[in-house]
């Protein structure tokens, strides 16, 4: 009997972000095919997505806290298990994966996937600048480098000095049966009762990148013209600033910040409009998820992803980043004239787990 090939994914942990969700969905899709042994190697075994990992996947805990400390333990894992392929999914994680591969001196296909544009990283920390320098040095040694959108791919080539069209595009897997099933769960929330004001929804970490301060200012403009409510699902360091802004704008009765919610899809199913207010993205998963649930969407035209997902505004209005007036107008316009649910759902299916898994396997077999 031929021994099954092993595919390994490497991450910091399974915190509630887009990269982590993408890896979980990839593992689900690969597990359903029942063709490979699957490992998920974590620098530390923690995070709300742990219980979403399919039982067929072996979770390996390096118990190192953060990926930056995990180079030698990952090298030991590679020497012992010799996977057919190793896949990383974020800059600093990818750097560690590449160093571990080099040190282990084993033949493993290495695919490095970037979730965000490198040029959009505004961090002034020396660590962030060091990671980019290491990316420039190490990424050419990977078997394949990919961005989750064409925008991310082209940005990587320009920022890291890679040859044009050498960075592949591997979209994140977003739409699957689990998403649709969860969206159809019951939602016992008074804001979604019959004959209540329309509800806007946003989902993401409460950090500067998501620019929820911009969304709050846009929503305040909407409230001056009609009754409406806003729910922002997620947790993060900007909570105090957001709560202060809500108070200062006098919209406290119409805004909720419930924190991280394991099933945001049922909210997407019932919301009147989903809003992405980000300054920067790679391929905003939540935008696709909302469309898959049939929810009309409005997005900033940030780099990168929204323009590709919405086909330059065909499937939802695009507005400039950090422009609360334009965002508020687009929110109102979408309430008055929402697109057909069927069209949104069809577009979202371009990012199905089945299609993306096929793309990953096709690339691996080419290497």
- Per DSSP, the residues of 50-98 read GGGS-TTEEEEE---SSGGG-HHHHHHHHHHH--SEEEE-SHHHHHHHH
Under a CB-based contact definition with an 8 Å cutoff, are residues 222 and 328 in contact?
A: yes
The pTM of the full predicted model, rounded to 2 decimals, is 0.86
| Residues 276 and 213 reside in one and the same domain | yes
| Residues 39 and 21 reside in one and the same domain | yes
Q: Angle 91-104/126-138 helices, nearest 10 degrees?
A: 50
CATH code for the domain in which residue 270 is found: 3.40.50.2000
| Residues 195 and 331 reside in one and the same domain | yes
| Residues 169 and 301 reside in one and the same domain | no
| Residues 128 and 165 reside in one and the same domain | yes
The one-digit pLDDT tens for each residue of the chain (367 residues) are 568 999 999 999 998 777 898 999 999 999 999 999 999 999 999 998 999 999 999 999 999 988 889 999 999 999 999 999 999 998 889 999 999 999 999 999 999 999 988 887 766 666 777 888 989 999 999 999 999 999 999 999 999 999 999 999 999 999 999 999 999 999 999 999 999 999 999 999 999 999 999 999 999 999 999 999 999 999 999 999 999 999 999 999 999 999 989 899 999 999 999 999 999 998 999 999 999 999 999 999 998 899 999 999 999 999 999 999 999 999 999 999 999 999 999 999 999 999 999 999 999 999 8
Number of domains in the chain: 2
Using CB atoms within 10 Å of the CB of residue 68, give its burial: 0 to 12 exposed, 13 to 18 middle, 19+ buried.
middle
| Residues 112 and 206 reside in one and the same domain | no
| Residues 151 and 219 reside in one and the same domain | no
| Residues 229 and 157 reside in one and the same domain | no
Range of the domain at 23: 6-173+352-366
Q: List all residues 6 or more positions away from 219 whose beta carbon is below 8 Å from its beta carbon.
A: 200, 228, 230, 251, 254, 255, 328, 331
- Residue 227 located in a structural domain: yes
- Residue 12 located in a structural domain: yes
- Residue 156 located in a structural domain: yes
Q: What angle do CA 152, 360, 32 make, to 5 degrees?
A: 130
**pLDDT of 2:** 65
Which stretches does DSSP call E strand in the chain? 6-11, 37-42, 57-61, 85-88, 109-114, 144-147, 168-169, 199-203, 229-233, 255-259, 273-276, 297-300, 317-319
**pLDDT of 68:** 85
Q: What angle do CA 319, 324, 326 make, to 5 degrees?
A: 40
| Residues 66 and 98 reside in one and the same domain | yes
| Residues 140 and 257 reside in one and the same domain | no
| Residues 130 and 268 reside in one and the same domain | no
274-to-212, 267, 325, 344 alpha-carbon distances in Å = 13, 10, 17, 12
Q: Which two tokens mark 159?
A: 């920022």
- Residue 1 located in a structural domain: no
**pLDDT of 7:** 97
| Residues 111 and 200 reside in one and the same domain | no
Buried b (16+ CB within 10 A) or exposed e, 232-265: bbbbbebbeebeebbeebebeebbbbeeebeebb
């Amino acid at each position: 009997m031929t021994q099954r090939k092993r595919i390994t994914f490497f991450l910091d942990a399974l915190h509630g972000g887009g990269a982590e969700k993408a890896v979980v969905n990839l593992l689900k899709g690969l597990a359903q095919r029942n063709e490979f042994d699957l490992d998920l190697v974590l620098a530390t075994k923690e995070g709300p997505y742990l219980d979403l990992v399919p039982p067929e996947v072996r979770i390996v805990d390096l118990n190192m806290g953060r990926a930056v400390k995990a180079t030698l333990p990952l090298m030991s894992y590679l020497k012992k298990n010799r996977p057919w392929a190793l896949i990383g999914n974020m800059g600093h994680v990818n750097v560690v994966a590449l160093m571990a591969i080099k040190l282990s001196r084993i033949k493993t296909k290495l695919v490095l996937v970037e979730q965000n544009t490198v040029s959009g990283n505004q961090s002034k920390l020396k660590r962030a600048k060091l990671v980019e320098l290491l990316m420039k040095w190490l990424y050419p040694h990977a078997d394949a480098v990919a961005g989750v959108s064409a925008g991310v791919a082209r940005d990587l080539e320009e920022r890291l000095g890679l040859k044009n069209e050498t960075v592949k595009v591997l979209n994140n897997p977003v739409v699957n049966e689990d998403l649709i099933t969860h969206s159809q769960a019951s939602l016992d929330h008074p804001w979604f009762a019959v004959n209540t004001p329309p509800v806007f929804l946003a989902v993401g970490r409460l950090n500067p990148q998501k620019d929820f301060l911009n969304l709050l200012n846009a929503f305040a403009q909407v409230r001056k013209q009609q009754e409406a409510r806003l729910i922002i699902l997620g947790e993060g360091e900007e909570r105090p600033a957001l709560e202060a802004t809500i108070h200062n704008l006098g919209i406290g009765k119409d805004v909720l910040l419930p924190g991280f919610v394991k099933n945001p899809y049922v909210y997407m199913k019932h919301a009147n409009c989903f809003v992405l207010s980000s300054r920067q993205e790679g391929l905003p998963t939540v935008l696709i998820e909302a469309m898959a649930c049939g929810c009309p969407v409005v997005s900033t035209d940030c780099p990168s992803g929204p323009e590709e997902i919405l086909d330059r505004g065909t499937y939802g209005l695009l507005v400039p980043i950090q422009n609360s007036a334009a965002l508020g107008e687009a929110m109102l316009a979408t309430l008055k004239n929402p697109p057909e649910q069927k069209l949104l759902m069809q577009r979202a299916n371009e990012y199905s787990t089945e299609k993306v898994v096929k793309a990953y396997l096709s690339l691996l077999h080419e290497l």
